[in-house]
Amino acid sequence: MLSFVFILILIIGFAKYFIYPNSVKQKGFYGILGLFLFMSIYWDIKYFDDMYNYQFMFNNIDSYSTDFMFTYLVTVANNIGWEFQDLYNFHIFIIGLFFTLFAIKFSNNIIFIVILICAYRYIDYGNQIRYYMGYFLVLNALYEYMVKDRKGIAVFLATLGILSHSSLIVICIIPFIRNFLLNLTLKRLIIINIILLISFSFLILIISSAFPQFIKYFIDDKGKSSIIGGVFELLPLILIIWLLFTNHYRILKSLPNILENSVYKFLYTLCIFSFLFISTGLVFRILAIRFVFSFSIVWISYLLFTLNLYKGSERSTQRIKILSVFLILILWFYYASLFILGSSYNLEEALKMLNIN
């Protein structure tokens, strides 16, 4: 029965995208379905790559140093008799809730968004529960600050997010550099990425010279493999960058004042911010995961929000472009290395998480 409901929701999601893409009715209903779908995908997962570390922290939290929020939640969980699986499911619920609350602000095609984003970043969402719980708190905080100008709510949500994962303080600088981000053309973005890559390379050389014991993390076989893997994984993002920039310039041409729309300005600013980390993500894959790929929900939210600015056949064409680009990203993520190298870590991990042998 549950499988039937799951498949029915998938069908509703695609039908909503292609048949009734601009309907704003029953937003709450679609939001609940989206949340249910998200939780169905991740609820009670028995394996993920970082599970051992999480279980170790859960069982030894008094002697393990980690972010405040996870320490607090583990302490509460232990006091009320929860197992690690219960705490994991709690994180999944909070992630799914704030994922839905963010995406539904811009489009009620929330089921379609859940399908695409969870398919594309399935491993990350199931693996990095601390980060993504904080991440979606911070995303909603940025919306409250930059669009609604509700600073009290924004500070509260951002504080909870940073307490969940301290690295999220990086994302919190976006409101203070938004004018800089909005003025970045594709050419300037490329130049900044080159400068950052050169700067990081020099930094690595300096660290390696001053602390030779760390050189293994950068230039041994594992480090080389990481860089090659970064290039391989980031390469198809050329498509999303092309789609976002062509979309922006086309809209800007027909609607020169579009940046006065606070929602459009907000989403576009966040998209550009994520592209700043592409070159450094080549060297440090964790930067790509946390500050590039995590913004895939923002990319799709921006593209679906702007669908309403197209008319007739142009809208249909744009809708097909969006779906096509994300399908290519998904297929590349799981199958490209399988065909080129004969194996796919991403596919193998996803199948383990799904308990498919």
Q: How many domains does the chain have?
A: 2
Residues 243 and 284 in one domain: yes
93 CB burial (10 A radius; 0-12, 13-18, 19+):
middle
What is the C-alpha to C-alpha distance for residues 296 and 292, in angstroms, rounded to an integer? 8
Q: Residue 43's domain spans which residues?
A: 1-169
Task: Tally Cβ neighbours within 10 Å of residue 14.
Answer: 14
For 153, other C-beta atoms within 10 Å of its C-beta total: 14
Q: Note whether 283 and 324 are same-domain residues.
A: yes
Instruction: Examine the domain organization and report whether 119 and 92 are in the same domain.
Output: yes
Final residue belonging to a domain, choices 140, 169, 198: 169
| Same domain as 128, residue 95 | yes
φ, ψ of residue 326 to 5 degrees: the values are -70, -35
Cα dihedral angle (231, 290, 270, 154), rounded to 10 degrees?
Answer: 180
Structure tokens at 189: 């973005």
**265 and 161 inside one domain:** no
At which of 144, 169, 194 does a domain end? 169
Q: Report the 10 Å Cβ neighbour count for 203.
A: 11
Do both 162 and 244 map to the same domain?
Answer: no
Predicted pLDDT of residue 220:
44
Give the type of residue at 357: N
Residues 236 and 150 reside in one and the same domain = no
Last residue of a domain, one of 121, 143, 169: 169
The contacts of residue 45 (CB under 8 Å, 6+ apart) are 88, 126, 353
Are the CB atoms for 334 and 345 separated by under 8 Å? no
Residues 145 and 206 in one domain: no
- The low-confidence residues of the chain, meaning pLDDT below 70, are 1-25, 207-229, 356-357
Longest dimension (CA), the chain: 61
Do 196 and 309 belong together in one domain?
A: yes
Considering the entire predicted model, what is its pTM? Answer: 0.91
Return the C-alpha torsion angle 300, 30, 26, 1, nearest 10. Answer: 150
213 and 324 belong to one structural domain: yes
How far apart CA 183 and CA 83 sit, in angstroms, is 49
